[in-house]
């Protein structure tokens, strides 16, 4: 199956013809043809190459959404424009019409920032109910072992209890007398990690989001971006309960 190939029912659903279940019923009823031949249930098609019809009417596929991952540097705003002329993330990615960010990172926070032209998916991925894991590494100073124990137990913030997953502490390899506090959160509340560290008495020297769902920084340099792979995109959409291949 090629990168653009998918099951016939998904192709119909993505084109807005019907839900996947209803699309399967259309195929089973013999109302769908692929290149003039009656489609089979579960058949793979390539919407960019195959001529698909339902009751004789052509099925037009929407343009595929664009997806990028940016290694956001510190000192860059996650916004479309800034009245004070400060740099923004949109200056670092392709000028793709309709591009929006998937959850913001604050001015000084670095790391994985997703951008897409699929606004609905962006909203679903950042909604608290999605529970998409986000991994952060904070370089901190303070009583880090006691702080980590408090974080594991849960810390009450002004907007509710924060209880990250997989909290670990290691000495910083780059900053003397500092530690790296690694943790995973799923809610994505505003400045949650910074507020959490402040609440337990830690000074944050640097904060990096190393992953968002299945997408990791890897070797991507600060300020650089790349398109998501088909696998990364499909895994993300699966997290939102969207149609998947």
The helix/strand count (H/E) of the chain reads as 6, 17
Please tell me whether residue 110 adopts helix, strand or coil conformation: strand
119-126 vs 230-239: helix axis angle to the nearest 10? 60
Backbone angles phi, psi at 241, to 5 degrees: 65, 30
Burial pattern 74-88, b for ≥16 Cβ within 10 A else e, equals eebbbeeeeeeeeeb
Of 243, 10, 12, 236, the C-alpha closest to 123 is 236
Q: What angle do CA 105, 77, 184 make, to 5 degrees?
A: 10
- CA distances (Å), origin 130, targets 56, 163, 213, 217, 242: 39, 16, 11, 21, 11
CA 239/CA 18 separation, integer angstroms? 21
Active site members: 106
């Amino acid at each position: 199956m090629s990168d653009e190939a998918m099951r016939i029912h998904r192709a119909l659903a993505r084109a807005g013809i019907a839900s996947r279940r209803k699309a399967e019923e259309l195929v089973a009823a013999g109302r769908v043809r692929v290149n003039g031949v009656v489609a089979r249930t579960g058949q793979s098609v390539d919407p960019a190459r195959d001529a698909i019809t339902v009751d004789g009417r052509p099925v037009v596929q929407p343009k595929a959404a664009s997806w990028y991952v940016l290694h956001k540097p510190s000192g860059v705003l996650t916004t479309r424009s800034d009245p004070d002329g400060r740099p923004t993330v949109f200056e670092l990615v392709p000028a793709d019409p309709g591009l929006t960010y998937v959850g913001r990172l604050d001015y000084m926070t670095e790391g994985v920032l997703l951008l897409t032209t699929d606004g609905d998916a962006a909203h679903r991925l950042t909604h608290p109910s999605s529970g998409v894991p986000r991994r952060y590494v904070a370089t901190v100073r303070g009583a880090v072992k006691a702080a980590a124990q408090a974080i594991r137990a849960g810390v009450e913030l002004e907007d509710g209890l924060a209880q990250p997953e997989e909290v670990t502490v290691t000495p910083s390899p780059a900053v003397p007398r500092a530690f790296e506090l690694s943790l995973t959160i799923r809610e994505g509340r505003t400045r949650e990690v910074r507020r959490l560290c402040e609440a337990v008495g830690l000074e944050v020297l640097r904060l990096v989001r190393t992953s968002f769902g299945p997408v990791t920084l890897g070797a991507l340099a600060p300020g650089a971006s790349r398109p998501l792979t088909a696998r990364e995109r499909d895994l993300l959409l699966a997290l939102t309960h969207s149609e998947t291949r």
